[in-house]
Structure 1
């Protein structure tokens, strides 16, 4: 009959806890997005370009890169679980429809080795990484193209595109590649240029030799990328342009601006929780003051103090539990809708891949349960203290 009196405190609890859940989820999402961005940039746990000084300084450098050791030599290094060849070449894409040329990039991968080392997220393509590799296996000259590129140029699966691949100094090939699949995002691929993904063995077979390529590695559990880089010379070559995903993550996490952002989110969560608790406690105390004559009448009618306390405790317990649950739902929905829009980096750099909202359920539900439990206990203590201290005064003044 008096449910309208609960609207204000209930809204306070819902809004405050929703804000807390939202900030906590944003912190978890940004934390994971940092990891995703670094792995997206590196492509794997560790990536580098093999380097041989004698080849670079030679007056007559040879075309090709047969001097690069096979991946088995890298896999034999301590701390390396798997290695894969990844060619990264410039490309010129010739579009017959409008007779234009587009400068792009050709990423040549080993479809067998690549899935063992690459970092790949479920939302990068409409099918799994294994499915994309199977498409490349269907045709040696097959390529994967960006979904947007396919739509913008009115192309379709099984269409052919003429691409000139610049594999090395003085070594290029022009071929009609077959579109066998599409992707939305791919490790190391950014929106500033069109990137085609094809079979590295097809490139090497065309030239009759190995072309320069990068090596991507997956580290064994507990292995350190820096230690692996130090032992790469044991294979007979050095490494340049190293990308150690874990080291990059630690470097980003140590930046003061990131510490400030996460500190703000933490304080926001704590402030929202404290505001909800203080608001509910204030309402509880004021409500008891208004209803003390009602309780006095119930006491005079024969109800025991325990019954009155139980009734009021149940009332506020339901109010607190409902507010906490509603706050979680509202905060989670808000996080799903708005957190992906906060793709901001400290240096204003690339913002790939997309930010996926993470609802920190492992933290939210224990915290919400602890909040509800603590509030119920505090309310019971407040109720008992108020009733036992003022009930006699109410009875004396009211009758």
Structure 2
């Protein structure tokens, strides 16, 4: 029989094809391969060597600015300044006392590649620093040192662009794909996950119930409060207090009682959210929470909340105006009558 090949040689298709695909804004070559990370002659264990083209990567990857000591593009600039430049995670830098200018090597199947550290940061797109250390380096420099290794092509798509026509076009051009991963379809699948639906359903139901209870309690309070004080209002009106002054007095009363409770409720709600929402992380994803869980106050949700509060206040004010308009002084003030 035929002897099994001892080596596989890969050929790289022209990259311009990916950039010119319909529905694609930007494309970037991204190499992710496992290797043995060596620092000062000591092995730091297996890590991920990630090779990128810094300009293309800046257009395709998504960065969250608040996760980095400096703007992420500053690190990409440093990669472009030095051919052998590399970025390493904070965890491994602290463990081995690394600083910019130190050397780090990555051993692959075809040899050892040496890099110079130019940046240290906690997170990087698609990497899990707690599971394995990463070394971010220039893709062309890696391919100067070792033979071609299969890489991924990251595409930044237009909002409504479909993936299937792209795959067909690439196959027509003779480019075979090992796998295709669409983040948008993954997000849709995750949004339909039963655990997520259950948690969001409980939160939504809790919000609706609390709003209904608050609204009904608020309206009942004002109705009985106004009904019980008709004699007082009548006396005040008979003493010369105008309807406008009486309305203003009651509105101020409403503002100082209801307004204070609303402000306190919003502050307590925000603090409670920051303290307790992280406990809603599901057990299956808590280990892979990179970047860490973040409590976000969506502007649209806050506007809905303000809308409900505004409706409650306007309803209370409307009830108040209606009650004062119907108030008849000669009926309210009668000798010996109490209500």
Q: Secondary structure at the match of 1:177?
A: strand
**Cα distance change, pair 242–397 in 1 and its aligned pair in 2 (3 A):** farther
Task: Check conservation: 1:85, 1:109, Cα contact below 8 A.
Answer: yes
TM value normalised by structure 2:
0.86
In structure 1, C-alpha distance between the alignment counterparts of 2:204 and 2:105, rounded to whole Å = 53
**TM alignment of 1:230-245, pairs within 5 A:** 230-245=168-183
Whether 2:253 is the aligned partner of 1:315: answer yes
**Cα distance change, pair 290–394 in 1 and its aligned pair in 2 (3 A):** same
- CA shift for structure 1 position 250: 1.0
Q: Secondary structure at the match of 2:32?
A: strand
Q: 2:27 aligns with which of 65, 71, 83?
A: 83
Whether 2:147 is the aligned partner of 1:204: answer no
Aligned to 1:54: none
- CA shift for structure 1 position 176: 3.0
> Aligned residue pairs: how many?
334
Q: Which runs of 5+ in 1 are unaligned?
A: 1-57, 167-171
Aligned to 1:46: none
Task: Check conservation: 1:317, 1:376, Cα contact below 8 A.
Answer: no
Task: Specify which structure has the bigger relative contact order, considering alpha-carbon pairs within 8 angstroms and separated by 6 or more residues.
Answer: 1
- CA shift for structure 1 position 273: 1.8
- CA shift for structure 1 position 348: 6.2
Aligned to 1:149: 92
**Cα distance change, pair 348–328 in 1 and its aligned pair in 2 (3 A):** closer
Task: Check conservation: 2:36, 2:45, Cα contact below 8 A.
Answer: yes
Aligned to 2:241: 303
**Cα distance change, pair 230–354 in 1 and its aligned pair in 2 (3 A):** farther
Q: Secondary structure at the match of 2:336?
A: helix
Whether 2:244 is the aligned partner of 1:344: answer no
In structure 2, C-alpha distance between the alignment counterparts of 1:341 and 1:128, rounded to whole Å = 30
**Cα distance change, pair 395–165 in 1 and its aligned pair in 2 (3 A):** farther
TM value normalised by structure 1:
0.74
**TM alignment of 1:255-334, pairs within 5 A:** 255-334=193-272
| Greater share of helix | 1
Aligned to 1:72: 16
**TM alignment of 1:1-399, pairs within 5 A:** 59-60=4-5, 62-66=7-11, 68-96=12-40, 99-166=42-109, 172-190=110-128, 191-207=130-146, 209-340=147-278, 342-344=280-282, 350-365=288-303, 367-382=305-320, 384-385=322-323, 388=326, 392-393=331-332, 395-398=334-337
Task: Check conservation: 1:69, 1:235, Cα contact below 8 A.
Answer: no
Q: Secondary structure at the match of 1:155?
A: coil
Residues 151-179 of structure 1: per-residue CA shift (max 9 Å, x gap): 1221111111232134xxxxx22133211
Task: Check conservation: 1:324, 1:368, Cα contact below 8 A.
Answer: no
Task: Check conservation: 1:106, 1:165, Cα contact below 8 A.
Answer: no
In structure 1, C-alpha distance between the alignment counterparts of 2:271 and 2:335, rounded to whole Å = 51
In structure 2, C-alpha distance between the alignment counterparts of 1:345 and 1:132, rounded to whole Å = 33
Which deviates the most, 228-237 or 198-207?
228-237
Task: Check conservation: 1:321, 1:372, Cα contact below 8 A.
Answer: no
Task: Check conservation: 2:18, 2:27, Cα contact below 8 A.
Answer: yes
Q: Secondary structure at the match of 2:100?
A: coil
Q: Secondary structure at the match of 1:240?
A: coil
In structure 1, C-alpha distance between the alignment counterparts of 2:81 and 2:91, rounded to whole Å = 23
**Cα distance change, pair 62–396 in 1 and its aligned pair in 2 (3 A):** farther
Residues 61-86 of structure 1: per-residue CA shift (max 9 Å, x gap): 754422x3132111222222221111
- CA shift for structure 1 position 352: 1.9
In structure 2, C-alpha distance between the alignment counterparts of 1:65 and 1:125, rounded to whole Å = 36
